[in-house]
Structure 1
Amino acid sequence: MSKKSGLREQNLKTLDPSKLTPLTPEVISRQATINIGTIGHVAHGKSTVVKAISGVQTVRFKNELERNITIKLGYANAKIFCAKDGKVPRPQSYKAYGSSKEDSPPCDAPGYEGAEMELLRHVSFVDCPGHDILMATMLNGAAVMDGALLLIAANESCPQPQTSEHLAAVEIMRLKHIIILQNKIDLISESVAANQHEAITSFIQGTIAEGAPVVPISAQLKYNVDAVCEYIVKKIPVPVRSASYITAAG
């Protein structure tokens, strides 16, 4: 462990490249090993949820900031931790930080401050634009996804045009691992949220997303973001990739 950065050292003199996996602590300490896309209709909260998880604002360019929409693909990395102490209740035991976070930060869940946290995932988010004229850009992003977060705004009817189009796109890509985020629940009543949940369930029937978890969140208020982190860890497997490049580099 590097005392300066709090990150594990990647030393090929002590590591066997043939035994490295996408979840080896020395690997995920410094490198994201899974790509997760954010998809869905324009202004449903894709960039906001990425910022809530990673702390990174993916809307960066002048024309994006002026119009408050994603135009180019946005990228942000995040580390997801879980408290080692099994006494910390779920989902509060899960916490996400930016990519540079040390590997063993203290838990900050109320009543469990200081409990040791374990790094479980290092995720690279691909933030896709939701506007209809930017579907080609979205498809480029879908090509590298291992899983996806489908954002559906709770204060609008479901499905919206790009909700359907983005789901169809990842279905073509045969992307099997999808988590649905019912966003903006802070703007509606409980009964409206329940009715829309039924609409979402009906919408995904017969699609590749059928049976996917539907997580109510408020990305703006960071409500239930810990639950999203737990679902990412438990529902989106990290793909096995070749480590031959490491061997070559050594």
Structure 2
Amino acid sequence: MTVQPTHELIAAQKAALLTQPHLSMQDIEVDVSTLTPLTPQIISRQATINIGTIGHVAHGKSTLVRAISGVNTVRHYKERFRNITIKLGYANSKLYKCPTCPPPDCFKSFGSEKEDTPKCTSPGCESTLLLIRHVSFVDCPGHDVLMATMLAGAAVMDSALLLVAGNQPCPQPQTSEHLAAVEIMKLQHIIIVQNKIDLIVREPGAAQRQYDDIKKFINGSVAEEAPIIPISAQMKYNVDVVVDYICRIPIPLRDFTSAPIMIVIRSFDVNKPGEDAETLKGGVAGGTILKGVMKIGDEVEIRPGIIRKDPKTGAVSWTQIMSKVTQMKADENHLMYAVPGGLIGVGLKVDPFLTRADRLVGQIIGHPGKMPDVVLEIEATYYLLRRLLGVKSDGGDKAKQKVSKLKVDEMLMINIGSTSLGGKVLTISSDRVRIQFLNPVCSNEGEKIALSRKIDRNFRLIGWGEIKKGYASKSKKSSTV
């Protein structure tokens, strides 16, 4: 019989963690057989599904995330100054349903810190809301030169919101490119959001005409059956309908029993300048757990770790980093253990110099001896797009330029998981390619890769593939840093 923990137990766990933040948690017993992605004690504290926001630049991706979660994902000075997303944004949100109000008014969304059983905010209704989902949003940049960043975000998405601005023709260049990217990642659940509907409300038939353009655009794609929701993210019009459809997305099957593997999409140094040595905190890695359950106190390995290149011979070597999990958080919620799905921050017993400015992006964290291999070469099947996406000709129309075949010794940009790195084509056959990387990467056979070629000074998506075999490199002796 599975006994669901009470809210009092959850509160007690949180209080214990807050009062003893450096307590070793190696002895925490987690019965993974009783856990599911919708277990109350899980979704009370942590998101269990990653929703990406994709689409062309300035179509309202960050605004929609803010409308649902209350979190502004545009946080860095350069992003605020230019009013665009440059780095991957992230925000968590709890989604509720009122048992009394009619749909879609019954769907409510709040920040991740909201209590589990709040009262309905509709006028005259005092019903207790039911917590349906706890989601993480991965807010991707829409600018064409930031395609590699978008692909890194796509590596951790379970589904996506594709935004189309109602006051612009559809599709725009990155609308096409982003949709192709999520098709490569085999995302099955896509919701199309026709945003900025308030800007065209006075143009008779404009919204319907664009709706027809969107239907034509997605015909034959993975989003062919996707719902199209007209909204105004700025005015928060119809946002509750978007929440309704997000709650209908099934939670993917999760592996709770294997050794934990976490993919890193951001990393930070949380110390302020001039921090005293006594209060110095270790580095922080942000990302999502792909499988297994990670606990505070776990001894972990970071692969590939520190990468070095011999200046004389050009030989590349790597040194995995041995560390320990000291803290875990989902937004402001402290966790004693974390499960697959959702974005979390993991505090590590590691020199913060190694995590500052996203230096650990693309790395894999897991239990020592149970990690994927580190490789310098791969053999993969590959498939090329028929034509370039996201490129316009001088005349303003989409270039009908076909994607040319791969060439031996050609340099490509390869995306594996959240890693973007250079790769040299060694050999080519009709459906297989062997690629040598400039830096080592941690990967598994069967993992999807994206191929990009430099065109007009920017890397453009040209195809995808699947790793069939990796050729492992040998590391130096591991160290605790």
TM-score by length of 1: 0.91
Aligned to 2:105: 92
Q: 2:246 aligns with which of 232, 243, 246?
A: 232
Matched with 1:124 is 136
Deviates more, 1:142-151 or 1:237-246: 237-246
Indicate how the Cα distance of structure 1 residues 147 and 168 shifts in structure 2: closer, same or farther if over 3 A, else same: same
Map Cα deviations across residues 6-39 of structure 1 (whole Å, 9 max, x no partner).
Answer: 9666699998431210001110000100000000
Shift of 1:166: 0.2
What's the C-alpha RMSD, in Å, of the aligned pairs?
2.2
Shift in Å, 1:2: 5.0
Q: What runs of 5+ residues in structure 1 fail to find an aligned partner? A: none
> Which amino acid is the alignment partner of residue 60 of structure 1?
R
Q: Decide whether the 8 Å contact of 1:10 with 1:26 is kept in 2.
A: no
Counterparts of 2:68 and 2:230, CA distance in 1: 15
Alignment partner, residue 111 of structure 1:
124
Answer 1 or 2: higher relative contact order, Cα 8 Å, separation at least 6: 1
**2:96 counterpart residue number:** 81
The reply to whether residue 177 of structure 1 matches residue 192 of structure 2 is no
Matching residue of 2:229:
215
Tell me the residue number matched to 2:50. 35
Which of 55, 62, 68 is the matching residue for 1:47? Answer: 62
1:197 to 194, 211, 223: 211
SS at match of 1:134: helix
- Structure 2 length normalisation: TM-score? 0.48
Alignment check: 8 A CA contact 1:183 1:216 kept: yes
Q: Does 1:241 align with 2:254?
A: yes
Q: Name stretches of at least 5 consecutive residues in structure 2 with no aligned partner.
A: 1-5, 15-26, 258-291, 297-336, 338-481
The answer to whether structure 1 residue 149 and structure 2 residue 161 are counterparts is yes
CA drift of 1:82 comes to 0.3
The residue that corresponds to 2:319 in the other structure is: none
Q: Is the 8 A contact 1:21 1:240 kept in 2?
A: no
Residue of structure 1 in register with 2:39 after alignment: 24
Aligned length: 244
The residue aligned with 1:135 is 147
Taking a change above 3 Å as real, the CA distance of residues 10 and 201 of structure 1, as seen in their structure-2 partners, is: farther
Instruction: Give the drift of 1:237.
Output: 1.2
CA separation of 1:155 and 1:145: change in aligned 2, threshold 3 A: same
How many angstroms apart in 2 are the aligned matches of 1:118 and 1:7? Answer: 17
- The 3-state SS of whatever aligns with 2:47 is coil
Evaluate the alpha carbon distance shift between residue 248 and residue 65 of structure 1 in structure 2; reply closer, same or farther with a 3 A threshold.
closer
2:198 to 186, 190, 193: 186
Larger radius of gyration: 2
Identical aligned residues as a percent: 61
CA displacement 1:164-217 (0-9 Å, x = unmatched): 000001011111110000000000035101111111011100000001000000
Structure with the largest fraction of strand: 2
Matched, 1:101 2:123: no
